Amino acid sequence: MKNNNKNIVICGVGGQGIILASNVLCYTAFLEGYDVKKSEVHGMAQRGGSVITHVRFGKKIYSPLIEKGGADFILAFEKLEALRYADYLDKNGVIIVNNREIVPVSVLVGSEKYPVDINKKLKRYRKAYLVDAEDTARSLKNFRVVNIILLGFLARFLKFKRQSWYESIKKYVKQKFVDLNIEAFNQGISLNR
């Protein structure tokens, strides 16, 4: 499963723009000449539920699913979801986590508890980054671009041309939001670690 293929898990809460972000990532890898596969979840699972997409690229990809312990990167849009899918991380993998808590209804109704020391738990991973994407989004006056800001942060670890990313954003984002999203992407790349 390992060889030279890259495996990236993108996870978070339904409605955070995870599928769009993973589409942009996939198409960028495709433009760079790789075989690409991705698996995503639609329907019931999207309504504010826990969402995971698997992205794989390399010379030849068979399975669209990543095995546990096989992800080179986890890009998590929410902290609890980062923890939920952390088993996918390779021991040398990088985990990038949006510094955001979305409390599940199971916690709101009091039947369960949101982990209190979650930042500490996440920092236990060797290469963990906690990113304040919502702050950047607020400065851009649009919370919808959190996904592209985070993708920008991931981009600095991948050796893709900036132009490929832009072309890919143009393909998946509505015309009138392209400039905003490219700005969001650039801010994501230069965000503090």
Partner 1 sequence: MKTLLLGNEAVARGAWEGGCNVATAYPGTPSTEILENINRYSEIYTEWSVNEKVALEVAAGACFVGARVLVAMKHVGLNVAADPMFSMGYSGVTGGFIIVSADDPGMWSSQNEQDNRYYARHAKIAVLEPSDSNEAKLFTVLGFEISEKLDTPILLRLTTRICHSLGVVELGKRKEHNVGAYVRDTKKRLLLPIHARLRHIIVEKRLQKLKSYSDRFKYNRIEWGGKKLGIITSGIAYQYAREVFPEASFLKLSLTFPLPEKLIKRFSRAVKKIIVVEEGEPIIENELKAMGIKVIGKEKIPICGELTPEIIRDSFAEKKRSYPKKKMPLRPPVLCPGCPHRGVFYIINKLKLTATGDIGCYTLGALPPLNAMDTCICMGASVTNAQGLERAGGREFSKKVVAVIGDSTFFHSGITGLVNAVYNKANLNLLILDNSTTAMTGHQPHPGTGKLAKGSAGKRVLPEEIVRGCGVEMVRIGDPNNLKETETLIKEAVNFDGVSVIVFRRPCALLVKPSQPYWIDPEKCIGCQLCLKIGCPAIGLKFPDDREKPLAVIDEVLCVGCGLCVQVCPRDAITNKR
Q: Find residue 130's DSSP bridge partners.
A: 97
Q: Where do contacts with partner 1 occur on this chain (CB under 8 A)?
A: 1, 13-15, 23, 26-27, 30, 35-50, 61-65, 67-69, 80-81, 83-84, 87, 102-109, 111-115, 134, 143
The nearest distance, CB 98 to partner 1, in angstroms, is 12
Q: Smaller CB distance to partner 1: residue 53 or 181?
A: 53
Contact in structure between 82 and 74 (CB atoms under 8 Å): yes
How is residue 152 annotated by DSSP? H
The nearest distance, CB 187 to partner 1, in angstroms, is 18
Q: Smaller CB distance to partner 1: residue 39 or 186?
A: 39
Selection from 63, 81, 16, 158 nearest residue 168 by Cα: 158
The nearest distance, CB 66 to partner 1, in angstroms, is 9
The nearest distance, CB 55 to partner 1, in angstroms, is 8
Contact in structure between 151 and 75 (CB atoms under 8 Å): yes
Contact in structure between 86 and 67 (CB atoms under 8 Å): no
In Å, what is the CA distance from 40 to each residue of 21, 65, 104, 145, 159?
Answer: 11, 9, 21, 20, 24
Q: Smaller CB distance to partner 1: residue 33 or 156?
A: 33
The nearest distance, CB 23 to partner 1, in angstroms, is 7
Q: Smaller CB distance to partner 1: residue 83 or 182?
A: 83
End-to-end CA distance of the chain: 30
Q: Smaller CB distance to partner 1: residue 48 or 156?
A: 48
